[in-house]
Each structure stands twice: as C-alpha cells, then as structure tokens.
Amino acid sequence: MMNRQVTLANRPAGMPSESDFKLIETPVPSPGEGQVLLKILYLSVDPYLRGLMRSTHSYASPIGIGQVMAGGTVGEVVESRNPKFQPGDIVESYSGWQEYALSDGSDLRKIDPSAAPISTALGILGMPGMTAYFGLLEIGQPKPGDTVVVSGAAGAVGSAVGQIARIAGCRVVGVAGSDEKVRYLLEELQFDAAFNYKKVTDYQAKLSELCPSGIDVYFDNTGGPITDAVFPLINNRARLVLCGQISQYNLEKPEMGPRLLFHLVVKRARAEGFLVFDYTARYPEARERMAKWIREGKLKYRETVVEGIENAPKAFLSLFRGENIGKELVKVA
Ligand code: NAP
Ligand code: FER
C-alpha cells in the first residue's frame, strides 16, 4: 500500500505556487513497538506554514526541501502497538500533508466524534479557535460596550473573534475581502458592521463612519493598510492584539508604511503580540466554553473543504487569495 505525501520542492520567493510542492508516493510504514499507524482524515492548511517554507529559523524549524509539509491533522488509528490507543480511535496530531503517518502517541489527542464533527478539532475547537479565544479575551480584554474591530474577519480566527466579542457584549466591526464575506458577517454572524476592503479605497474614513465611538480593541490578522487605518481611530487605553500579518507573509522585503506608533503614546494604548501555543495548558477550559457556545447557537463556524491530498497546495494558496470562508481544510479520506 502506498502513502501519498506532499513535500516542499522549492523555497518560494513571494507568493508561492503549486510548483513549489511535489506529490510523492512512499510505502505505508509499519508501526514499531509503542507506535500507532494513523490514516489521516483531515489536514489543516494555515498561514503560518508560509513562514516554515523559509530557510530562516522561526518558532518552529523550517521545513526542509524534500520534506513532507507540516500541519495539523485529524486521523484514525488503523494499527496500534501502543496500549493507550485502539484501532478506530480518532486523534488530533501534527502529521503533515500525507495520507498515513506513524506516531509514538506522545503527540496525540483523542477526539470524541460524538461531541462535535471531527474536523472542528482543526478549526473552531482547534488551534484557530483557541487563537481567537485567548487572543481576544486575554490580550484584548474586551469590556461590554467596547468597539472591537477585527481584520481577516471572515477567516477561521477572525470569524470566531467577532462572535466572542459579541458574546462579551461588544460592538463588532469586521473587515473582509468580498461582498459575500461581508454578507456572511452581517447576516449569519451578527456583526454590527463590516466592509469589503477590496471595494473601499479610504479605509480610515470607512472605519471612522462604522466606529462613531472610536476603537477600543483591534484584533489584527492582516497588518498592512487596514491596520494603518486603525491607529488614528483608537481610543484611550485601546488594546491592539497582534495575531497575524498575512498581508506581509509573501513579501521579500518589509513594506514601508506610515509611522504610527505615536498614536499609542498619546492614547496610552497597548499593542501586544501573542502566540496561541503559550496557552496550551488552558485549551481544555476554552474548548469547553466554545463547545457550549456552539451548542447554544451563539458561536457559528464554517469550513471550506477541498478534497484529496493532491489538492493541499491549492488549498494552502487559496488562503492568500482569500478564497476561503472560515477554516480551510483538506479532506484526505
Ligand atoms: P484565515 O483568516 O482563515 O485565512 C486567511 C485570510 O486572510 C484569507 O481568507 C483572506 O481573506 C485574508 N487575506 C489574505 N491576504 C490578505 C491581504 N493581503 N490583506 C488582507 N487580508 C488578506 O486564516 P487563519 O488561520 O484564520 O489566520 C488568520 C491570521 O491569524 C493569520 O495572520 C495567521 O497568521 C494568524 N494566526 C496567528 C496565530 C498566533 O498564534 N498568533 C495563530 C493562528 C493564526 P480576505 O478575503 O478577507 O482577504
Ligand atoms: C501564525 C503566524 C506566525 C502562527 C504562528 C506564527 C500558529 C509564529 C511565527 C514565529 O514564531 O516565527 O499564524 O500560528
């Protein structure tokens, strides 16, 4: 039996393309003592992978040329030589872009398939959901009545941020890249306001119109000109949550922009970056609250699912074109 895998073929300069990846086949490995064989069912494609495609070191080691692309996965145990796992168990792992993978069990988290669809372990109840929860609640410190602006608002993280801010009693304004996304935010997710940044030229004027009381919390997924437009509108003691800068991930040299930090001085505001991994010990409590909000209908989610391991590169690239609504996933089997 063969294992299809997607490897990194080249380190891209700028926007990656499908030719930067290579689909290969290797024999499905057999589990050794203490190991399990996983059949991957879903894999997650995420913006941070663009950073791992560079040769420079970041929080995780770069992916080597010829190595299997990294990424979060949900799989089924199909063979087990580890007493903690039985065939049929559904687990979250970090197995990357392949159809089968071995694990010694140390990186596996069992998932209860009766509690929620298993794909949510990579989305709303997984890393992106945890990012929204801790980024907004811990770093953003939203108070009832605050105006919260979120960029990348219709994506996996952003769509959860806006809804959690609503649950926290805030007024929520989303920025997203299509009319369909804006409709989704307003009609399905009950955002108070939203606009399509691809159709608006003066972001500051638009935000000022949509945030008549100024901005108390900004949750930044994109950076770039959207973020530039936020600074002049922040209120005293505003919190800028620096979650991601996707507009910058494919640039080869830093973009020159206006120097805006003086706004933080006069508004006594705080801009703080965070990485979700610092909160892993608290994922269980967050997952429980988020699952409850989902059951109560207060927290909705969407997934954009592409089928087949061979389409993983396409799915990944679609993130940078904004083709996804909610969490972008690949259904592997
Ligand atoms: P996502 O939002 O589901 O997908 C990416 C979205 O980014 C696209 O749908 C697209 O939507 C938008 N985008 C792409 N290029 C853009 C550009 N040039 N300007 C503005 N928007 C652009 O992805 P996600 O997984 O939820 O991640 C969102 C952000 O959170 C990313 O920056 C990611 O790196 C960050 N993140 C950080 C952590 C952490 O621990 N700090 C953890 C997870 C994710 P549009 O149609 O709106 O353009
Ligand atoms: C992300 C962007 C960046 C992310 C992690 C990072 C988990 C970390 C980068 C680094 O440490 O260099 O979306 O998600």
Same domain, 216 and 101: no
Statement to judge: residues 111 and 141 lie in one domain: no
> Atom of ligand 2 at shortest distance to CA of 275?
5
The pLDDT score that the predictor gives to residue 57 is 74
Segment 294-313 shows an average pLDDT of 98
Ligand number, closest to the Cα atom of 60 = 2
- Residue-level length of the chain: 333
**156 Cα: distance to centroid of ligand 1 (angstroms):** 8
Q: By CB neighbour count within 10 A (0-12 exposed, 13-18 middle, 19+ buried), where does 314 fall?
A: middle
Residue % of the chain over a pLDDT of 70: 99
pLDDT digits (tens, 9 = 90+) for 274-284: 999 999 999 99
Do 171 and 58 sit in the same domain of this protein? no
Q: What is the CATH number of the domain that holds 83?
A: 3.90.180.10
Q: Which of 45, 222, 248 for a ligand 1 pocket mutation test, highest count of atoms within 8 Å of Cβ?
A: 222
In a domain, 170, yes or no: yes
The residues, any chain, with a CB within 8 Å of residue 17's CB and separated by 6 or more, are 317
* 218 close to 233: Cβ distance less than 8 angstroms: no
Task: Please check whether residues 58 and 104 belong to one and the same domain.
Answer: yes
Residue 48 — very low, low, confident or very high, per pLDDT cuts 50/70/90?
A: very high
Give distance in angstroms: CA of 197 to centre of ligand 1: 14
The whole-number average pLDDT for the span 202-223 is: 99
Please compute, for residue 126, the number of CA atoms within 13 A of its CA located in the half-sphere on the CB side: 31
- Asked if residue 54 belongs to a domain, the reply is yes
- Report pLDDT digits (tens) over 251-302: 999 999 999 999 999 999 999 999 999 999 999 999 999 999 999 999 999 9
Do the beta carbons of residue 305 and residue 14 sit within 8 Å?
A: no
pLDDT, one tens digit per residue, over 222-235 is 999 999 999 999 99
Any idea which residue has 């995420």 for tokens? 46
| pLDDT tier, 140 (very low <50, low <70, confident <90, very high otherwise) | very high
Residues 145 and 196 in one domain: yes
pLDDT tens-digit map of 76-88:
999 999 999 999 9
Radius of gyration of the chain (CA): 20
Residue 93 has pLDDT above 90, yes or no: yes
Residues 80 and 219 in one domain: no
Could you give the number of structural domains in the chain? 2
**Residue 275 Cβ contacting ligand 1 at under 6 Å:** yes
Nearest CA to ligand 1 atom 15: 320
pLDDT of residue 299: 98
Closest ligand 2 atom to Cα of 277: 7
Q: Would you say the CB of residue 158 lies under 6 angstroms from ligand 1?
A: yes
User: How large is the average pLDDT for residues 71-80?
Assistant: 98
Q: In this predicted structure, what is the pLDDT of residue 280?
A: 98
Residue 117 has pLDDT above 90, yes or no: yes
pLDDT of residue 160: 99
Q: Whose CA is nearest to atom 5 of ligand 1?
A: 319
Residue 282 lies in a domain: no
| Domain termination residue (choose one: 262, 277, 292) | 277
The mean pLDDT of the chain is 98
Q: Is residue 163 located within the same domain as residue 204?
A: yes
8 Å CB contact between 41 and 76: yes
67 and 141 housed in the same domain: no
Spell out the residues 6+ positions from residue 281 whose beta carbon is closer than 8 angstroms to its own.
Answer: none
Say if residue 230 is exposed, middle or buried (CB neighbours under 10 Å; 0-12, 13-18, 19+).
buried
Yes or no: say if 119 and 74 are a contact pair by the CB < 8 Å rule.
yes
Neighbours of 259 (CB within 10 A): 8
Say which DSSP state 223 is in: -
Question: Which of 157, 199, 330 for a ligand 1 pocket mutation test, highest count of atoms within 8 Å of Cβ?
Answer: 157
287 found inside a domain:
no
Q: Is residue 290 part of a domain?
A: no
Residues 159 and 73 in one domain: no
Q: Are residues 111 and 225 in the same domain?
A: no
Q: What is the pLDDT of residue 193?
A: 99
Note whether 103 and 17 are same-domain residues: yes
pLDDT of residue 61: 86
Domain hosting 7: range is 2-119+303-331
In a domain, 292, yes or no: no
Distance from the alpha carbon of residue 28 to the mean position of ligand 2, in angstroms = 31
Q: What is the mean predicted confidence (pLDDT) over 178-195?
A: 99
Looking up residue 245, the CATH number of its domain turns out to be 3.40.50.720
Residue nearest atom 45 in ligand 1 by C-alpha distance: 177
Mean per-residue pLDDT, 30-42 = 98
Q: Are residues 258 and 309 in the same domain?
A: no
Q: Is the CB of 58 under 6 A from ligand 2?
A: yes
Does the pLDDT at position 60 exceed 80? no
- Residues 6+ away with beta carbon under 8 Å from 51: 58, 249
Q: Residue type for 73, please?
A: T
Domain presence at residue 36: yes
Predicted pLDDT of residue 105: 98
Residue 288 lies in a domain: no
